Amino acid sequence: MINLMVRNLKLYFRDRNAVFFSLLGVFVIITLYLVFLGDVWSSNYPNVVGMRFAMDSWIMAGVLAITSFTTTMGAVGTMVEDKSKKIKKDFVASPLSHSSMTGGYILSTIVVGIIMSLVALVVAEIFIVIKGGSLLSLLDFLKLFGLILLATVANSAIVVFIVSFFDTLNAFGTASTLVGTLIGFLTGIYLPIGVFPPTVQWVIKLFPPSHAASLMRQVMMRAPVQKVFAGAPQQLLTDFKLQMGMELSFGNQIISPRISILILVGTAIVFYLLALWNLSRKKN
């Protein structure tokens, strides 16, 4: 299983096109923010000290949340390629058990997601500092690292389940393009969740990666938001957090970080079980 994981990692990082396209959604979001969205949202608060720092942290938290989704989808493309080129039949004929083979694919997607998310975190922190913000504290960095691990495991579970239905590279490529295009909307990253109609907000809140984005925003935006809203009424701060997706709510009930974490853990368990079932069903 470990050998298969290492082999998949080498194939992924050796293919520069696969790495680039798995990060395409991230590049699109950063470009849109730099060209359009950053100035638009900061201009709504022209005289508020620290608001640009808060908005930079908001977009970068969203970028981190989707990086583990898009990059794991790029990594699991190796599984589809092995099926389309009949390479998987060689593994089936070998002493390698089906569960070990599936585990190798899953582990490689998780490792890729973690590595690429950490790279994105470094880029995000450099970007924030260049724009006048400050680095995360050590405690916040450790919290964010834990959230990256959790988000990567949950997102990779969803991705492996989705990709388990594909047997051709064309179908996988179409799905990857679709996901890369929609992921920013499904997680409330292109636009704050508060500007969407209620029905769309519910869709976003039901999408598990949105909970990862919310948790990451709470960590990355903690310092700038404290500065921006120092002395402001609590209701103003609460409304801002809900508007920007720092916190999610169903009705009048704000979802606690513990519930969001449980949702991500549950997502990982359910979708890995579904993926394993579907792959086992199709192993012959």
284 residues of the chain, pLDDT tens digit each: 777 788 878 877 887 777 776 676 677 777 776 666 656 555 666 566 778 888 889 988 988 888 888 888 888 888 888 777 766 655 555 555 666 677 788 888 999 999 989 988 998 899 889 888 899 999 999 999 999 999 999 999 999 998 888 878 888 888 887 887 788 788 877 778 888 898 989 999 999 999 999 999 999 999 999 888 888 888 989 998 998 899 999 888 999 999 999 999 999 999 999 988 887 776 55
Q: How many CB atoms lie within 10 A of CB 254?
A: 13
Query: Which residues pair with residue 253 across a beta bridge?
Result: 250
**Nearest Cα to Cα of residue 18 among 66, 102, 80:** 80
- If you search the block for the tokens 């997680």, which residue do you land on? 187
Return the C-alpha torsion angle 166, 27, 13, 265, nearest 10: -60
| One-letter identity of residue 12 | Y
**Would you say 179 and 73 are in contact if contact means Cβ atoms under 8 Å apart?**
yes
| Cα–Cα distance for residue pair 94/124, rounded to 1 Å | 43
What are the residue boundaries of the structural domains of the chain, listed by start?
A: 2-281
What 3-state DSSP class applies to 191?
coil
Taking the whole predicted model, whether its pTM rises above 0.85 is answered as yes
- Pairing between β-strand 249-250 and β-strand 253-254 as defined by DSSP bridges: antiparallel
Q: Using CB atoms within 10 Å of the CB of residue 240, give its burial: 0 to 12 exposed, 13 to 18 middle, 19+ buried.
A: buried
Query: Which residues pair with residue 250 across a beta bridge?
Result: 253
**According to the model, what pLDDT value does residue 102 have?**
74
